[in-house]
């Protein structure tokens, strides 16, 4: 029987964060927890989170920043997030998160450090790898491709030769989802 409900609200640019939200929701449903998955670009007008037993926010990272919609959502819902009765989780998708030597640093920089600017604290969060898509159908514009190719040449560890690289580690994502379920159910 489904008796708990979690809101997964995300902001994506190239699709990685959205795919993670969908995967987490699937894992929740397999464990009898309902997940409402919301793209903050399409809906962000929440009065409160009274209908939910938990909240997860996911964001894409571009030049060190969350998406505009995630930023606005956290700013507008700051007080409601602070008084959430259930667990609060946050994840980002980023190229650096896939690099062993950068992971711990960007996990802090992209999540708790940024949340502090809104007076929001967090204990459950993780940084996952992202998608680097240089293909014809990519959502990256030419300038973004250029930035990525330059960054890739420097230190992201991303192959700039490959057309499409998915850096997400699905085991890591599953562990994050299952850990959140433990918090919801406890």
Ligand X SMILES: Cc1cc2nc3c(=O)[nH]c(=O)nc-3n(C[C@H](O)[C@H](O)[C@H](O)COP(=O)(O)O)c2cc1C
What's the CA gap between 47 and 67, in Å, rounded?
21
Residues of span 3-22 touching ligand X by CB under 6 A: 12-17
Output 87 or 156, the one with its CB closest to ligand X. 156
User: Rounded to the nearest whole angstrom, what is the least distance from the CB of residue 46 to ligand X in the complex?
Assistant: 21
Task: List the beta strands (DSSP E) in the chain.
Answer: 4-11, 33-39, 54-60, 88-93, 124-128, 131-133, 164-166
DSSP state of 99: S
What's the CA gap between 151 and 137, in Å, rounded?
21
Per-residue x/- mask for ligand X, residues 34 to 73, rule CB under 6 A?
--------------------------xxxxx---------
Residue 132 binds ligand X (CB under 6 A)? yes
Alpha-carbon distance values, 141 to 23, 31, 33 (Å): 27, 39, 38
Residue 148 binds ligand X (CB under 6 A)? yes
Q: Reduced to 3 states, what is the DSSP secondary structure of residue 94?
A: coil
User: Rounded to the nearest whole angstrom, what is the least distance from the CB of residue 107 to ligand X in the complex?
Assistant: 10
Residue 174 binds ligand X (CB under 6 A)? no
Question: Of the candidates 27, 34, 122, 147, which one interacts with ligand X according to CB under 6 A?
Answer: 147
Question: Of the candidates 94, 107, 125, 126, which one interacts with ligand X according to CB under 6 A?
Answer: 94
Residue 165 binds ligand X (CB under 6 A)? no
Is residue 157 left, alpha or beta, with left meaning phi > 0 and alpha meaning psi from -120 to 50? Answer: left
Residue 114 binds ligand X (CB under 6 A)? no
Output 30 or 117, the one with its CB closest to ligand X. 117
Q: What is the DSSP string of 2-24?
A: --EEEEEEEE-SSSHHHHHHHHH
User: Rounded to the nearest whole angstrom, what is the least distance from the CB of residue 168 to ligand X in the complex?
Assistant: 8
Residues at the site binding ligand X, with contacts judged by CB under 6 A: 12-17, 60-64, 93-96, 106, 130-132, 140, 144, 147-148
């Amino acid at each position: 029987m489904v008796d708990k409900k979690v809101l997964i609200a995300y902001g994506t640019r190239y699709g990685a964060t959205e795919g993670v939200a969908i995967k987490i929701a699937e894992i929740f449903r397999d464990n009898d927890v309902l997940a409402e998955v919301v793209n903050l670009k399409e809906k962000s007008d929440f009065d409160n989170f009274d209908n939910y037993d938990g909240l997860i926010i996911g964001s894409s990272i571009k030049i060190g920043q969350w998406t505009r919609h995630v930023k606005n959502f956290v700013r507008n819902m700051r007080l409601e997030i602070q008084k959430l009765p259930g667990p609060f989780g946050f994840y980002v998708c980023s190229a650096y998160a896939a690099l062993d030597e950068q992971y711990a640093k960007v996990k802090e920089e992209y999540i708790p450090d940024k949340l502090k600017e809104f007076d929001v604290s967090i204990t459950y969060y993780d940084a996952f790898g992202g998608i680097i898509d240089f293909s014809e159908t990519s959502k990256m514009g030419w300038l973004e491709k250029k930035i990525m190719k330059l960054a890739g040449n420097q230190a992201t560890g991303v192959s700039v030769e490959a057309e499409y690289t998915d850096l997400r580690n699905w085991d890591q994502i599953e562990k994050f989802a299952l850990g959140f379920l433990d918090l919801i159910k406890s």
